[in-house]
Amino acid sequence: MTLRALIVSYAFPPVGGAGVQRVLKLVKYLPREGVTPSVLTASDPSVPLKDASLERDVPPGTEVVRVRTLEPAYGAKKLAWRAHANASASLVSRAKRSAVRLGRRLLVPDPQVLWLPAAQSALRRRLRSQTADDVVFISGPPFSQFLLTALAGLRRTTAIVLDYRDEWSTTSSAFEMSGSARVSALLERAVLRRAHAVTTATEEFRSALLERFPFLDPARVVAIPNGYDPEDFHTELPSPPSGRFVLTYAGTVFRLTSAHGLVRGVRLLHEREPELAKLLEIRFIGRIVDTEAHYFDGSEALGICRLGYLEHSRAVEELAASHAVLCLLDDVSGVERIYPAKIFEIMQLGRPCLALTPEGALAKLVRRHRVGEVIAPRDADAIARALSRMLREFRDGSPVAQPAIDIERFDRRVQARQFADVFRAAVEQARA
């Protein structure tokens, strides 16, 4: 059965960052599975990162419908976030914080709700057309997009599939400028009742959803992890340098991925073994949000380099040119059900991973597939000892890294097939 699927994603190339990869690779590989994808996205998204190189993965002829959002530019949102974080007792600072709190109460579940008027209009036109889509697939965050299920549900033969790249509840408490968690929980219950199928990025997300919402049919909630695209890895990728030990992190540093434990561990290493520590260079690729930037004050003297955001292909090259890679998850609520999408590209590269994470989904994944070492993210002493051991092995002749095992299931082509199966099952249910 050939299907037409509308992929709804607020962020889509030329937007950059890890958040677009899941949807982008789905659009790339769904045609192989007999599904013709179209995309509904924002024409002027209020986002911090752009990466036009990702547009190379969009198949020629793919219909991409771009509609405007009423949001302010990202710079304005960033200023509002800074005002909210400012603890100053001055009258001006208190007024700014009050304004931000009011905005958060009004913009529920997130500021991207201001994209919905135009998105609703575009979706309504598609549902009324003679070639209406068989499936409307909505991937969040932002989770305001999930509210489009009310409109999509008006066409009874169109299936609705909701995709959780992250957890709605965790996003409400940890991400920038999210709205009321209480109201979000009510909205989440309402939209889930309308969905014909739900996909999640981890088995832990799936279990938590089924526990929180007992009305969900377990057979219609499917865990499909993130993954890697073999075509992103070329045989001519660079090798690590011989004169220093390079440890690289690629991704955003924010509350969930805070590096403060790592920086403390590096400082300890420099205090205990200054000569050995001179061999270490740590590279951070990606955005570091304002509330985390102060942890890096003076870190240049520790061999920590901040390279900023790089195009995806460049980031892969930098990871390949490293002796080991970092994966970060700080010890905060809900993190035990998360693993960063970058871990799968790390697997494919075959570089040892130093995973600074609490016990949970990421720790299990790293151990199960023999990706590397797991250390608690705030245990500076253990981090310093691990770095010391890695540097001594490097200095004395690095052992041959063992590639991760059993990673074929994370191939994006395999996952496109799994999504196509979910789509077909959802369409059969909608038409029944």
Quick: pLDDT tens for 194-204: 999 999 999 99
Q: Quick one: pLDDT at residue 80?
A: 52
Which of the four pLDDT bands, split at 50, 70 and 90, describes residue 181?
Answer: low
Q: How many percent of the chain have pLDDT more than 70?
A: 88
* Amino acid symbol at 206: R
Residue 90 lies in a domain: no
Quick check: 127 pLDDT over 50?
A: yes
Same-domain pairing of 42 and 187: yes
Whether 203 and 248 map to the same domain: the answer is no
Confidence check: pLDDT of 93 > 60:
no
CB of 244 within 8 A of CB of 281?
yes
Q: Which residue has the higher pLDDT, 234 or 325?
A: 325
Residue 246 or 92, more confident: 246
- Strands, E, within 256-366: which ranges? 280-285, 304-308, 324-328, 353-356
**Among 106-120, 169-183, 338-352, 412-426, the least confident range:** 169-183
pLDDT in the model for residue 171: 60
- For residue 93, being part of any structural domain is answered with no
**Residue pair 54/14 in contact by the 8 Å Cβ criterion:** yes
Give the residue-averaged pLDDT of 249-273: 96
- The more confident residue out of 401 and 220 is 220
Please report where in the chains the tokens 């003297």 appear, as a residue. Answer: 301
- Of residues 41 and 88, more confidently modeled: 41
Q: How far is CA 212 from CA 167, 183, 206, in A?
A: 12, 15, 10
Side chain identity, residue 358: P
pLDDT at 362 (0 to 100): 96
Spell out the residues 6+ positions from residue 236 whose beta carbon is closer than 8 angstroms to its own: none
Residue 39 and residue 188 in one domain = yes
One domain for residues 244 and 223: no
Residue-level pLDDT at 103: 46
Look at residue 32 and tell me if it is in a domain: yes
Q: Which helix (H) or strand (E) holds 248?
A: strand 245-250
Range of the domain at 329: 233-395
One domain for residues 222 and 253? no
Residue 244: is its pLDDT beyond 50?
A: yes
- For 51-65, 79-93, 380-394, which range has the lowest pLDDT when averaged over its residues? 79-93
Give the DSSP letter of residue 205. H
The confidence band for 131, taking pLDDT boundaries of 50, 70 and 90, is confident
Per-residue model confidence (pLDDT) at position 184: 79
pLDDT at 17: 86
Q: Which residue type, as a one-letter code, is found at position 367?
A: R
pLDDT confidence tier of residue 77, bands split at 50, 70 and 90: low
286 Rama class: left (phi>0) / alpha (psi -120 to 50) / beta: left
pLDDT tops 90 at residue 186: no
310 and 242, same structural domain? Answer: yes
Using an 8 Å Cβ cutoff, are 335 and 256 in contact? yes
Same domain for 313 and 359? Answer: yes
In a domain, 95, yes or no: no
Express each pLDDT in 308-345 by its tens digit: 999 999 999 999 999 999 999 999 988 999 989 999 99
Q: Please spell the DSSP secondary structure of 346-398, one letter per residue.
A: HHHHT--EEEE--SSHHHHHHHHTT-EEEE-TT-HHHHHHHHHHHHHHHHTTP
Do 41 and 115 meet the contact criterion of CB atoms below 8 Å apart?
no
With contact defined as beta carbons under 8 Å apart, do 42 and 67 qualify?
yes
Instruction: Give yes or no for residue 81 having a pLDDT over 60.
Output: no
Q: Does residue 74 register a pLDDT over 80?
A: no
Phi, psi of 46 (to 5 degrees): -90, 85
What are the angstrom distances between the C-alpha of 145 and each of 116, 131, 171, 430? 7, 22, 14, 20
What local confidence, expressed as pLDDT, does residue 178 receive? 47
- Residue 374 burial (C-beta neighbours within 10 Å; 0-12, 13-18, 19+): buried
Taking a C-beta distance cutoff of 8 angstroms, is the pair 136, 130 a contact? no
Are residues 178 and 314 both part of a single domain?
no
Shared-domain flag, residues 327 and 261: yes
Give the residues across from 41 on adjacent strands.
66
Q: What's the whole-model pTM score?
A: 0.89
CATH number, residue 348: 3.40.50.2000
Same domain, 244 and 371: yes
Matching residue, tokens 């440890």 = 247
Query: Is 218 part of any domain?
Result: yes
87 in a structural domain: no
Identity of the residue numbered 96: K
Query: Does one domain contain both 222 and 241?
Result: no
Q: For the chain, what is the domain count? A: 2
Does residue 97 carry a pLDDT above 70? no
> Predicted confidence band at 400 (pLDDT cuts at 50, 70, 90)?
low
According to the model, what pLDDT value does residue 403 have?
A: 80
Answer whether residue 370 is part of any domain.
yes
pLDDT attached to residue 99: 45
- State the pLDDT confidence band at 7, using cuts at 50, 70 and 90: very high
For residues 349 and 370, membership in a common domain is answered with yes
Any idea how long the chain is? 432
CB 357 within 8 A of CB 382: no
Residue 405 lies in a domain: no
Q: Which stretch of 107-121, 255-269, 407-421 has the lowest confidence by average pLDDT?
A: 107-121
Report d(CA 366, CA 359) in Å as an integer. 11
